[in-house]
Amino acid sequence: MSTDDEQHLREEQQAAALRKVADLGAKRAKHLKAADEVLVDLRKAVGEAARLSAPRRRTQELAGVGTAQFYEWLREAGIDVRKPKKPADS
């Protein structure tokens, strides 16, 4: 194989790799946008569940979020939450 052929092959491989990166980047952006839209609805649903006195632990589990995030959403929804406990002295 000549040097020109090798160069051409390398350029084709690079172009193919970049097309794959571009396709996956676009796919990622699409999914991130969809996830952001779902988060808006999830936040509202968490607030509504809390207003209806649904068990908070179960609501948090079903939402699939951590405790800090969950209670932040409750506060943003105007729902009273107790202040975090202070850590015990060592």
Confidence of residue 84 (pLDDT cuts 50, 70, 90): low
User: Is 83 part of any domain?
Assistant: no
Contact 59, 50 (CB under 8 A): yes
**Model confidence over 19-74: pLDDT tens digits?**
999 999 999 999 999 999 999 999 999 999 999 999 999 999 999 999 999 999 99
Q: Which two tokens stand for residue 39?
A: 């988060």
Contact between residue 70 and residue 63 where contact means Cβ atoms under 8 Å apart: yes
> Is 68 within the bounds of a domain?
yes
- Give how many domains the chain has, as a whole number: 1
The answer to whether position 42 is within a domain reads yes
State which residues form the domain around 69: 3-76
- Check residue 2 and give its pLDDT: 82
82 vs 4, more confident: 4
In a domain, 87, yes or no: no
pTM for this predicted structure? 0.68
The rounded distance, in Å, linking the Cα atoms of 11 and 3 is: 12
